[in-house]
């Protein structure tokens, strides 16, 4: 009887241990599944945010190119406003006072960056590329704000009459110099295809379901060749090749 008692106790003990182990195992699997699900959800938000920011930069490029085109035409007239039809001149006026300075969206990345889930990503190269991408996004936005929009806001003359507006503009030597410099400055033209390529590369690493893919062995080669090809293509297109 004594042996049977110890045997029963041992069996019960093993049952308890197995039950605890099974419970912890199930909980661990459930936790990992939830972490994976939440990570994917956040990566989907980051991907969508990058798509939105890519469009933001494309819009900024269009606005700046439109401004440069207008001031190039205005400078070419040498104050001879009669060479430009008044409707066109009025359209130029609306173009130069047009503003679109909404800030970039980076909330999804900030949430992901500050969450514990970022530590669960096994592919650290993904985090490096995303961190690098958002660094450039913020840096270029700051550059545009200080080197373009701030100058444009300060230099706009407050004249209602179209002719007086452009007279006042031409009297402002700083803005004439600014737009002339911008027209011939390769930096402003190279910065947009560069950021576009960086964002596109990161979008391509993530799919719409939050999965990510990146060849660790070829990471530097693939990334650098992708960026170089995109910038070269934009340069050739700009020069009509």
* The pLDDT of residue 73: 84
Residue 23 lies in a domain: no
Instruction: State how far Cα 214 lies from the chain centre.
Output: 19
**Residue 209 is assigned to a structural domain of this protein:** yes
pLDDT of residue 199: 92
Cα pseudo-dihedral 166, 167, 172, 174, rounded to 10: 40
Predicted pLDDT at 216: 47
Full-model pTM = 0.75
Is the residue at 28 inside a domain?
no
Residue 11 located in a structural domain: no
Range of the domain at 119: 36-238
What are the backbone dihedrals phi and psi of residue 212, each rounded to the nearest 5 degrees, phi first?
-130, 150
154 lies in a domain? yes
Number of structural domains the chain divides into: 1
pLDDT for 48: 92
The token duo for 92 is 């130029």
> Residue 31 falls within a domain, yes or no?
no
Sequence-distant (6+) residues with CB within 8 A of 209 are: 40, 44
Q: Where are the alpha helices (DSSP H) in 78-205?
A: 86-97, 107-114, 124-144, 150-155, 162-171, 173-184, 186-205
User: Is residue 161 in a domain?
Assistant: yes
Q: What is the predicted pLDDT for the residue at 1?
A: 45
Q: Which residues in the chain show pLDDT less than 70? A: 1-32, 100, 174-189, 213-221, 235-236, 238-241
- In angstroms, rounded to a whole number, what is the distance separating the alpha carbons of residues 174 and 155? 8
Q: What per-residue confidence (pLDDT) applies to 70?
A: 83
Percent of the chain with pLDDT over 70: 72
Tell whether 174 is covered by a domain: yes
């Amino acid at each position: 009887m004594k042996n049977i008692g110890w045997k029963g106790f041992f069996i019960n003990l093993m049952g308890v241990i197995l039950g605890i182990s099974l419970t912890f195992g199930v909980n661990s699997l459930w936790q990992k599944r939830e972490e994976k699900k939440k990570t994917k959800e956040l990566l989907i938000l980051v991907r969508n945010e990058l798509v939105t920011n890519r469009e933001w930069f494309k819009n900024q490029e269009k606005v700046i190119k439109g401004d440069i085109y207008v001031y190039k035409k205005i400078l070419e007239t040498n104050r001879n406003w009669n060479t430009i039809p008044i409707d066109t001149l009025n359209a130029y006026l609306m173009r130069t006072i047009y503003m679109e300075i909404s800030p970039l969206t980076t909330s999804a990345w900030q949430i992901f960056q500050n969450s514990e889930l970022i530590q669960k990503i096994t592919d650290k190269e993904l985090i490096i590329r995303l961190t690098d991408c958002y660094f450039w996004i913020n840096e270029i936005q700051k550059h545009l704000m200080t080197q373009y929009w701030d100058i444009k806001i300060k230099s706009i003359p407050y004249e209602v009459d179209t002719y007086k507006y452009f007279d006042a503009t031409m009297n402002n030597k700083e803005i004439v110099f600014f737009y002339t410099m911008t027209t011939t400055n390769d930096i402003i033209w190279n910065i947009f295809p560069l950021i576009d390529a960086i964002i596109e590369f990161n979008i391509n690493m993530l799919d719409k379901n939050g999965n990510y893919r990146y060849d660790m062995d070829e990471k530097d080669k693939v990334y650098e060749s992708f960026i170089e090809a995109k910038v070269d293509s934009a340069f050739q297109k700009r020069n009509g090749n």
